[in-house]
């Protein structure tokens, strides 16, 4: 008798699990193409609230992973001008100084790497960083941490100094 009860319980569990899997599988049921926002409200997956207000009237700007990140130094001027410049989009003098410094570092790293006949992969292995980090550093497509910059510079026997300037 006990065995029958457990068999019946397991069978009903299996039936329930099958129903749930059918209900929530991709493309089936009323939930397809819908998601829940941070407040638990359902909305269309195509972005019903892009730059609009939510159900409580609070404004929610359209924020995606692409516009959350800071633009890299190369984006302040035409791509053909990297790393020589000029960088007309940099209006703030501090930003312009940072971009020019990043361009000088990128040029020095590229020249020294080429003089050793190393690939970006070889430099990345020696510096214990990823190849994409070396690519980003040379192309100016992103800001590189100072610690990573020092690692790459040490491998290439370049000196990096952080000198405060008073203007």
Alpha carbon distance 129, 142 (integer Å): 15
Alpha carbon distance 152, 129 (integer Å): 8
Q: Which two tokens stand for residue 142?
A: 């992103």
First to last CA, the chain: 90
Alpha carbon distance 148, 141 (integer Å): 15
pTM over 0.85: no
Domains of the chain from N-terminus onward: 34-68 (no CATH), 74-155 (1.10.260.40)
Alpha carbon distance 54, 56 (integer Å): 5
**Quick one: pLDDT at residue 127?**
93
**Quick one: pLDDT at residue 76?**
73
**Quick one: pLDDT at residue 16?**
56
**Quick one: pLDDT at residue 151?**
92
DSSP single-letter state for residue 59: B
**Quick one: pLDDT at residue 60?**
47
Q: Which two tokens stand for residue 26?
A: 């991709």
**Quick one: pLDDT at residue 66?**
47
DSSP string, 96-116: HHHHHHHHHHHHHHHHHHHHT
**pLDDT (tens digit, 0 to 9) for every residue of the chain, 167 residues total?**
444 545 555 555 555 555 555 545 444 445 445 555 555 555 544 444 445 554 555 544 444 444 455 677 777 776 666 777 777 777 788 888 888 888 888 889 999 999 999 999 999 999 999 999 999 888 888 888 888 999 999 999 999 887 777 76
Contacts of 130 (CB under 8 A, 6+ apart): 124
State which H helix or E strand residue 94 sits in: helix 93-115
Closest among 151, 147, 152 to 118, alpha carbons compared: 152
């Amino acid at each position: 008798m006990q065995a029958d009860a457990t068999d019946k319980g397991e069978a009903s569990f299996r039936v329930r699990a099958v129903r749930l899997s059918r209900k929530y599988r991709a493309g089936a049921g009323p939930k397809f193409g819908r998601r829940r926002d941070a407040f638990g409200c359902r909305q269309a997956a195509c972005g019903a609230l892009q730059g609009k207000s939510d159900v409580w009237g609070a404004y929610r700007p359209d924020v995606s992973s692409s516009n959350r990140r800071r633009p890299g130094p190369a984006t302040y001027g035409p791509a053909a001008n990297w790393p020589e410049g000029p960088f007309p989009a940099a209006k703030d003098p501090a930003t312009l100084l940072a971009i020019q410094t990043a361009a000088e570092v990128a040029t020095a790293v590229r020249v020294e790497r080429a003089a050793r006949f190393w690939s970006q992969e070889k430099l990345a292995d020696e510096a214990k960083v990823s190849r994409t980090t070396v690519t980003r550093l040379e192309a100016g497509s992103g800001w590189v941490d100072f610690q990573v910059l020092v690692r790459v510079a040490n491998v290439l026997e370049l000196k990096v100094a952080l000198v405060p300037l008073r203007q």
